[in-house]
Amino acid sequence: MWIDTHCHWDAPEFAADRDAVLARAQAAGVHTVVVPTVQARDWASTQAMCRAAGQPYALGIHPLFTPKASDGDLIALDAVLTEAEGDPLLVAVGEIGLDFFVPGLDAECQQHFYLAQLKLAKRHSLPVILHVRRSADPLLGGLRRVGLRTGGIAHAFNGSAQQAQAFVALGFALGFGGALTFERALNLRRLAASLPAESLVLETDAPDIPPQWLYRTAAARAAGQGSGRNEPAELPRIAHTLAELRGWSLAETAAFTSANARRVLPKLASLPPCA
């Protein structure tokens, strides 16, 4: 059984065939799909959607959505985390973090929401799902400053080996997905091949970060050659790349990465096998 530790199944791109997307994933052996949120207005609908499907979710404010967020959203997040405390499907605070790749974002504003959400995760004893884009060192600094001990997942990790080891030392696993399937992703492949087995989890970030076989350039999309939309059903094929890099069988890859996901997101261990 595979676990997709990061899939935006609640995204508008899946509105037309959301149930079919999940059915395809389950047919491919991906029975657990962790759904992180990105903004306050999505929390209630994503909760309802995931509860109806028996799928785990996380609640948070994504760094790209911080320009429209307010301190009132942080108060609301504290309240909804309290309300959902007994919900076995609430597995983390996320997606939260910092993004220093996209131009025009206010770094101070991002830091404000990041640190505040770390404190909420600490208060509610929840792991976090981190957005890491050119921001590994300040993310690590925030974790140490707040003293978060619940760990979590550094999503779509593509930093240095030293940064990877620092996250692992703080109780995190590192998320690998479609980017791993590109032969030119040399640094990422070196990391996936060399990091301790217990540090690796799999993800799709669907509908984003498509694997090599789905990727379309902007020009190709404009020419009507498909959207390049990613899906959780692609996870086993993505996992094949990791298996080749590690010299594992697919069964070993599923076992290692699923066990790692359950360790860093402990509530996953209480879900039934077909949830």
End-to-end CA separation in angstroms for the chain: 11
How far is it, in rounded angstroms, from Cα 257 to Cα 242? 10
Going by the DSSP 8-state scheme, the letter that residue 213 receives in this structure is T
Helices (H), 54-176: 71-83, 107-123, 136-146, 161-169
Answer yes or no: is 31 a known binding residue.
Answer: no
Answer yes or no: is 8 a known binding residue.
Answer: yes
Cβ atoms 180, 200 nearer than 8 A: no
Answer yes or no: is 6 a known binding residue.
Answer: yes
Handedness of CA 143, 148, 153, 155 (dihedral sign): negative
Query: CA-CA-CA-CA torsion for 198, 200, 202, 204, nearest 10 degrees?
Result: 160
Answer yes or no: is 205 a known binding residue.
Answer: yes
Q: Which amino acids are annotated as binding site, given as ranges? A: 6, 8, 95, 131, 155, 205
Q: Which amino acids are annotated as binding site for a divalent metal cation, given as ranges? A: 6, 8, 95, 131, 155, 205
